[in-house]
Each structure stands twice: as C-alpha cells, then as structure tokens.
C-alpha cells in the first residue's frame, strides 16, 4: 500500500535504508575493563533535620559568587558550543513528543495519523541545527532510527492486515513442507525422537514464558530445528545453544559471554533472549514466516532480498522463499514440518517417544571459584549432574563473582556449609600459535611445555592433522 503523500514515501524509503544499513553493521567487540579496586566508602556527613537545614540556609554567612561571564552566558541563552541550547533541547523534545503520539496512534490502528506524525517528527529532526560534535547528535540519531523502526512496523501491518494476530503461525502445506516431512519421517527420525524426548526438560517452562509474552506456543518447537534441544549445540556459523545465538546477537539481547560463562548455553537465559528477539522480528516484518526466516539468517539479509523485488514487498513469504539462501529458505518449512508431526503423529504413521520429565533443582548464590566436580563431591552429588544443570559454565567451574548455581534439590545447604573449606580454581589462560611449515602437534606441544592431548582438547581437534597457517590456542596458565 502506498503512503498518502510523496514526502512520506520519500521519508520511509530514506529512513528504512538508514535503519537496515545500521542494523546490519558489525558491532565492535565489548572492551572488558579490569575490575576496579574496592575501596571503603567515604563516611556520610551527619544528616540534618529539615528545620536545621532551613535555619542554616536562612542564616548562612557565605554567599555564592557567580562569575560575570557565566551570568552573561545564562542571560543570552547560548550554550558553550555556541548553540541556542533551549532551541535544540525543545526541538528534540517536540520531535520525541510527535514520535510518542505516533506510537499511540499506531497502537489504536490509526496508521494514517501515525505516519503523518512520524513525518512531522522527522521534519523537526531535519530542521534541527545540531553540529556533529554536539552531545545531542547521538540523541538525534537514536530518534531517527526509532522513527525508521515505527515506519517499518506500520508498513508491515498495512501489507499484512490479516496476520496482525500475534499468536497465529500459518502452517502451510506445500511441496517444500512435504520434502521436510519426508526427511524427518525418514533419515532424520532418530534425531527427531531424541530432540522431542530431550524437550521434556525445558518445554513446560518455555511454554509458560511464551504465554507471558503473548507469543504462539508452537515456537517452543523451534529448538528441535535449531539444536535438537542440546544446550551445547554449536553450528558451523558459531551459533551456540538451544536457540543458536551468534555472539553479536547474544550480546545485543543481554547474554553475557566472558571468561567464565557463555549464557547462550543457558537454556533459561537464552530462552528469554530468544523471546525478545522473536518479538522484535515479528513487529519488524509483520508475519511469522518471514520473522522465522530472519531469525535464521538475520533481518538485514531478508530485507535486502525484499528490497530487490520489483514490488516493495511480496504477498506472502512463499513468494520470497526461493530467493533466500538455501539454509534460510529451508528453515521455515522444516519448522512447519516439526509442528505438524507433533500435532498429529498418527496422521504420519509415527508414535512420539515419552519426553523426559521437567528439570527440578535448587539455586544457591555463591562467590567461590571452584571446579564443579569438587562442589559435587562436597554435597554428595554426581559431577555430571551439576554440569548438566549449569551448561553455561565454560570450564565446568564457578566464577570468582557472585553466581546463581543450580544444584540438585535439597543439597544447597550442604554445599554452602562445605564451601569455605573447598579449594579455589583459576581457569587456564590462552595464547595463540600460527602453524608454520614442518610443525606438528607434538613439536608445538614440546615448545610450549604442554601435551598433544591438551592441544587437541582446547582446539577441538579429533586427530593430529594440522595445516600451515592454522591458529591454535595454547595454554599459558592453569
């Protein structure tokens, strides 16, 4: 559907382009600063009662002396950078107010008013005379991108008025879905059974979170396609965990990744992140099939394919389907096939296995870096059970910061009692080595005082074959 005015059409095109370029740009890796030295807080001055404060102010012999140039600056209304400060702040506030009014209009379904208000807000930003070195420039850019997002959402809602039901995923039947059904019911059936059985650990909890967010409950089966419900699943693209987050997307959705933990591997924390991401993608594209495709490959790639069409958009996802990369295009019919089999296994001549029972555990807050096998022995549990409950711990050890550790039911108090007596563990640190001609794992291990087995383990090598130019991780401590 075209927008009403030529100007709005221009604004939408320009803003959407800016937004998608911005969303696809690589983000810099976060810089981890060393922990600051803990110092005792300075003592607070004695508090005064309201009456005492009033008396002191009224009878204070001191008088604040304001320099003449500062008085002159305040009277002129000119900021230190030479800008009319009031004009800049008020203009941004006016643009923000128009943006908020547009959101309210969009929420009540008044798209025309919403677009007009967004157009007005963007016009204010264009007229705003802010220099590139002004502290307000970031606020201006942020508002510009927010306006672009809202325009995209309105455009998606106009294109797809029948899919505004947030809880509806169309389970289409076509040749592509039929192919995936045949694959799951044939060569992939054993893996399907394993994934379905494993889903029992987390399914009930995930469904509860989906209901809270108002998302379709069928999305609980997405991890069968992504990871077969394996918390440690790692793809060729370095996507990790139940929901297969790549590093940057995980960071965008508050999944911590540091020396001790990688929360992409935590089934519960990554589920919360996946729900937020899916909500965003659905609001961005306006239908679930396109949102699921972009979950697999990123919204930027899907939008570029959409923009390459002769028409601004396609009537439905399946018109877009064959223009997407193979893995992404296949992702949606695979998900639909999974849901169809689980909904009606008898229709496809199969019997689903009994899922594992939901996980039950206690949580204890500790601040003691220790190996999980040591903690398990102290509480009379199996190390493998503790590792399974805490898959986000990268070295099967707790960090040296406060940490919520999951333990078998009833054993938390026993662990806390034994904790002060347990040895501390500091995980290894690594350097790197670039393989040169004539080197072998054995010669490299001897050079750095380690073993071939250690190099194989930390570099995920199944054998001893290495290639020239390959970069290996080398243990330097621990």
DSSP sequence for 118-130: HHHHHHHHHH---
Closest residue by Cα to residue 292 from 331, 321, 318, 240: 331
Q: Could you list the beta-strand ranges (E) of 298-448.
A: 362-366, 403-407, 429-434
Higher local confidence (pLDDT), 357 or 42:
357
Mean pLDDT of 305-315: 63
Look at the domain 362-421 and name its fold: Membrane-bound Lytic Murein Transglycosylase D; Chain A (3.10.350)
How far is Cα 133 from Cα 259, in angstroms, rounded to an integer? 36
Cα–Cα distance measured from residue 220 to residue 211, given in angstroms and rounded to the nearest whole number:
11
Q: Is 120 annotated as catalytic?
A: no
Alpha carbon separation from 287 to 19, 181, 194, 215, 291 (Å, rounded): 19, 23, 30, 12, 6
Mean pLDDT value across residues 314-331? 80
Per CATH, the number for 429-477 is: 3.10.350.10
> For residues 416 and 38, which has the higher predicted lDDT (pLDDT)?
416
For residue 277, pLDDT beyond 50: yes
Region of residue 399 (left: phi > 0; alpha: psi -120 to 50; beta: else)? beta
Q: Give the C-alpha separation, 283 to 101, whole Å.
A: 18
Q: Which of 180, 218, 226, 299 is catalytic?
A: 226
Mean pLDDT for the stretch of residues 18-44: 41
Mean of the pLDDT values across residues 453-461? 89
More confident site: 41 or 95: 95
Residue 35: is its pLDDT beyond 70? no
Q: Is the pLDDT of residue 409 over 90?
A: yes
Residue ranges of the domains in the chain?
Answer: 6-25+83-159, 175-348, 362-421, 429-477
Instruction: Answer yes or no: is pLDDT of 150 > 80.
Output: no
Say yes or no to pLDDT of 165 above 70: no
Q: Minimum mean pLDDT among 13-27, 160-174, 333-347, 421-435: which range?
A: 13-27
- What is the pLDDT averaged over residues 64-93? 47
Residue 111 confidence (pLDDT) above 60: yes
Q: Which of 42-46, 73-77, 126-130 has the highest mean pLDDT?
A: 126-130
175-348 and 429-477 have identical folds: no
**What percent helix, strand, coil does the chain show, rounded to 5?**
55, 5, 40
Please, which contacts does 161-169 make with residues 24 or more away whose CB atoms are closer than 8 Å? 163/286, 163/287, 163/288, 164/286, 166/214, 166/215, 166/216, 166/282, 167/214, 167/215, 167/216, 168/216, 168/288, 169/216, 169/218, 169/219, 169/288, 169/289, 169/339
pLDDT at residue 355, rounded to an integer: 97
* Rounded mean pLDDT, 40-47: 42
Quickly name the fold that domain 175-348 has. Lysozyme (1.10.530)
Judge whether residue 4 has pLDDT over 80. no
The pTM of this model reads: 0.65
The pLDDT score that the predictor gives to residue 392 is: 97
Give the range among 81-85, 157-161, 184-188 with minimum mean pLDDT. Answer: 81-85
DSSP-based three-state secondary structure for 98: helix
- Say which residues have a Cβ less than 8 Å from residue 239's Cβ, sequence separation at least 6: 226, 245, 246
Judge whether residue 214 has pLDDT over 90: yes
Residue 12 has pLDDT above 60, yes or no: no
Residue-level pLDDT at 287: 84
Residue, of 86 and 259, whose pLDDT is higher:
259
Q: What pLDDT was estimated at residue 311?
A: 54
Which of 247-254's residues contact partners 24+ apart within 8 Å by CB, and which partners? 248/26, 248/27, 249/277, 249/298, 251/27, 251/30, 252/27, 253/277
- Residue 160 is predicted with a pLDDT of 53
Mean pLDDT of the residues in the chain: 80
* Residue with tokens 């979170």, as numbered in its chain: 209
Residue 38 pLDDT greater than 50, yes or no? no
327-341 pLDDT, tens digit each: 888 999 999 999 999
Distance CA 282, CA 139 (A): 26
Percent of the chain with pLDDT over 70: 75
Say what the pLDDT of residue 379 is: 95
The pairing of strands 471-477 and 429-434 is antiparallel
According to the model, what pLDDT value does residue 156 have?
60
pLDDT number for residue 81:
40
Write the pLDDT tens digit of every residue in 349-392: 999 999 999 999 999 999 999 999 999 999 999 999 999 999 99
CA separation, residue 111 to residues 50, 90, 367 (Å): 52, 26, 52
What local confidence, expressed as pLDDT, does residue 378 receive? 96
């Amino acid at each position: 559907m075209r927008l009403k005015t030529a100007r709005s059409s221009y604004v939408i095109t320009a803003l959407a382009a800016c937004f998608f370029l911005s969303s696809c740009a690589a983000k810099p890796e976060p810089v981890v600063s060393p922990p600051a030295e803990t110092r005792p807080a300075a003592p607070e001055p004695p508090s005064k009662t309201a009456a005492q404060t009033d008396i002191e102010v009224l009878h204070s012999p001191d008088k604040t002396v304001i320099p003449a140039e500062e008085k002159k600056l305040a009277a002129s209304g000119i900021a230190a950078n030479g800008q009319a400060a009031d004009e800049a702040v008020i203009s941004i506030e006016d643009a923000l107010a128009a943006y908020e009014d547009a959101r309210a209009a969009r929420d009540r379904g008044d798209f025309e008013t919403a677009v007009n208000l967004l157009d007005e807000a963007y016009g204010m930003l264009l007229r705003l005379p802010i220099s590139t070195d002004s502290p307000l420039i970031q606020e201006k850019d942020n508002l510009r991108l927010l306006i672009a997002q809202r325009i995209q959402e309105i455009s998606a809602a106009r294109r797809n008025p029948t899919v505004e039901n947030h809880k509806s995923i169309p389970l289409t039947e076509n040749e592509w879905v039929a192919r995936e059904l045949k694959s799951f019911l044939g060569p992939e059936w054993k893996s399907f059974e394993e994934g379905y059985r494993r889903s029992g650990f987390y399914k009930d909890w995930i469904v509860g979170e989906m209901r809270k967010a108002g998302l379709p409950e069928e999305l609980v089966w997405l991890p069968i396609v992504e990871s077969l419900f394996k918390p440690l699943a790692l793809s060729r693209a370095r996507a990790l965990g139940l929901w297969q987050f790549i590093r940057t997307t995980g960071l965008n959705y508050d999944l911590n990744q540091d020396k001790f933990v990688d929360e992409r591997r935590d089934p519960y924390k990554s589920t919360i992140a996946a729900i937020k991401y899916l909500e965003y993608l659905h609001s961005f594209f306006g239908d679930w099939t396109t949102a699921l495709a972009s979950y697999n490959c990123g919204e930027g790639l899907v939008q570029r394919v959409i923009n390459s069409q002769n028409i601004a958009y396609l009537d439905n996802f399946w018109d877009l389907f064959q223009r997407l990369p193979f893995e992404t295009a296949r992702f949606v019919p695979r998900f639909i096939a999974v849901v169809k089999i689980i909904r009606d296994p008898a229709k496809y001549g199969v019997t689903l296995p009994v899922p594992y029972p939901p996980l039950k555990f206690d949580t204890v807050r500790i601040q003691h870096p220790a190996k999980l096998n040591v903690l398990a022995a102290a509480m009379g549990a199996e190390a493998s059970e503790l590792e399974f409950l805490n898959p986000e711990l990268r070295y099967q050890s707790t960090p040296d910061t406060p940490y919520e550790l999951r333990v078998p039911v009833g054993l938390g108090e026993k662990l806390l009692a034994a904790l002060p007596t347990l040895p501390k563990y500091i995980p290894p640190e690594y350097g790197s080595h670039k393989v040169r001609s004539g080197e072998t794992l054995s010669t490299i291990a001897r050079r750095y005082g380690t073993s071939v087995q250690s190099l194989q383990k930390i570099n995920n090598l199944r054998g001893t074959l290495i290639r020239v130019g390959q970069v290996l991780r080398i243990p330097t401590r621990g």
